[in-house]
Homo-oligomer: A and B are copies of this chain.
């Protein structure tokens, strides 16, 4: 299949595709959200995974970031470098997965690029929107805020697919003080949220997916649940997992900004490492 023939096929469903750029309306009173997420053969998945799943998962990763800002996804670009082992059937399956995931999120495929490489690589770009000034940032957590997750953790080995928490995220707008999605494991991602907010955190409850271990929940990634904070007496959906504490200067307890403690013990900010190669057949979503 040539680039032009793939584009011609996609245009039947996606009229925004086909010019030098996609042209879409701007929205008064809204901020725009922009996100790009790479999915790479051997890093994020292996080729044994079905093409539908590779496509759906690549899109879901970016949608999860829109969810984490409390946003609504609007337009998607998919850039793909096809590996020599892909064929028309594979490409059709991949885009089936893309469309399925975008359909559930009510977002449109609006463009992208198609080329070739030795390894399959795709980059999914999402453009979303959120009420002006209302995006849920990582940097708003305050000492004494309660800390929550949108669901049980330990996704890597125990979850069948990614369900971006879009509705959940929108419910947190105006309620949560900080929010992000957990993609690299609770320990590392909570460390990032705390660092961005200049605070520390104390965990007292880590809810586990059926079959998952505490270690998987803390350090394994691929959860795509939301991690967020809210003032202690505000009613919010989700599971309370701990509280935000002051991020004092180094040496002074309870710890410098970014420190995450569980049962009083500091956790190392170690999580899913996107530099490691996956062994053949080992996939985050089966």
Q: Give the B-binding residues of A (Cβ under 8 A).
A: 2-3, 18-38, 40, 42-44, 65-66, 68-69, 71, 75, 77, 79, 81, 110-119, 121, 123, 125-130, 132, 135, 137-139, 180-181, 196, 274-275
Q: How far does the alpha carbon of A103 sit from the alpha carbon of B24 in the complex, in Å? A: 25
Question: Chain A's interface: helix, strand, loop or mixed, by majority?
Answer: strand
Contacts of A35 in B (CB 8 A): 20-22, 77, 111
Contacts of A121 in B (CB 8 A): 81, 117, 121
Q: What are 30 contact pairs spanning A and B, CB under 8 A?
A: A3-B275, A18-B138, A19-B135, A19-B137, A19-B139, A19-B196, A20-B68, A21-B34, A21-B128, A22-B34, A22-B35, A23-B32, A23-B33, A23-B69, A24-B34, A26-B26, A26-B28, A26-B32, A32-B127, A34-B77, A36-B79, A36-B112, A37-B79, A38-B81, A38-B113, A38-B115, A40-B115, A115-B275, A116-B274, A117-B121
Contacts of A40 in B (CB 8 A): 81, 115-117
